[in-house]
Amino acid sequence: MIVMPHKVRRLPDGFKTPVLAFEFAQSTKDTYGIFYDENGHISQGVVSSMDLGNILDFIYMVQYSLFLLLFCLITFRLTKKYVLFIPALLSLLALAGDVLENIQLLQITSLLESGIYEKQLFYLHYFTWLKWASLSLIFLMIPLFIYKKGILSTFTLLLGLAIFALGAIAFFHRSVFNEFFSLSVAVMFILLIIYSYTYKNGKSRIK
């Protein structure tokens, strides 16, 4: 987030985060507002910082997908709930979607000068939602399978339901809900990390 651009000329309605607006871009009009200045020239600083952020993101995506995969497998070892293999597999699907998404994003920035990248925008939509839909399902399923009475577990479950609902709304109506959806996913990662460190003897130590 430090590397990514924080201010661009114009974002699609409802968006506050440039990289998120780029991920959910649907037309050349969307990308024009992100990458072109008031004089119609490509903002090289925005392009460079966006590219660098997306290149570094390849490291991050491996980390978060590995975390989710191991979380599910370790939870399976502790609970013997075979259904946990579903979110484990979805974590790999999210990784695949994220890799393909970033490839499209990098291709689009390389084609900005030509203005011909409709094909990349078409694929971007599907790969972006392959990632986000996989994460939405993962965060709906994991809280259901690890639920124990307690504040942390209950809040995680409620957040998982909220993520799924926000994702569904964002899919059918691109808007500020995409921002809320992304933020809720980030919070869920934090909660699962806290859960991992507080888990002991079959339940979280946080009541």
pLDDT of residue 203: 54
pLDDT of residue 153: 84
Q: If we measure between CA atoms, which residue out of 87, 127, 89 comes closest to residue 105? A: 127
Per-residue pLDDT of the chain (207 residues; tens, 9 = 90+): 889 999 999 999 999 999 999 999 999 999 999 999 988 899 999 999 999 999 999 999 999 999 999 999 999 998 889 999 999 999 999 999 999 999 999 999 999 999 999 999 999 999 999 999 999 999 999 998 887 777 888 999 999 999 999 999 999 999 999 999 999 999 999 999 998 888 775 555 444
What is the Cα–Cα distance from 48 to 55, expressed in whole angstroms?
11
**How buried is residue 113: exposed, middle or buried, by Cβ count under 10 Å (0-12/13-18/19+)?**
exposed
pLDDT of residue 201: 59
State the maximum Cα–Cα separation within the chain, in Å, rounded to a whole number: 62
pTM of the model: 0.91
Q: Tell me, what DSSP letter sits at residue 37? A: -
pLDDT of residue 206: 44
Residue type, 182: S
Residue with tokens 């037309």: 27
144 φ, ψ (degrees, to nearest 5): -65, -35
Residue with tokens 């909660």: 191
pLDDT of residue 120: 97
Where in the chain are the domains? 18-204
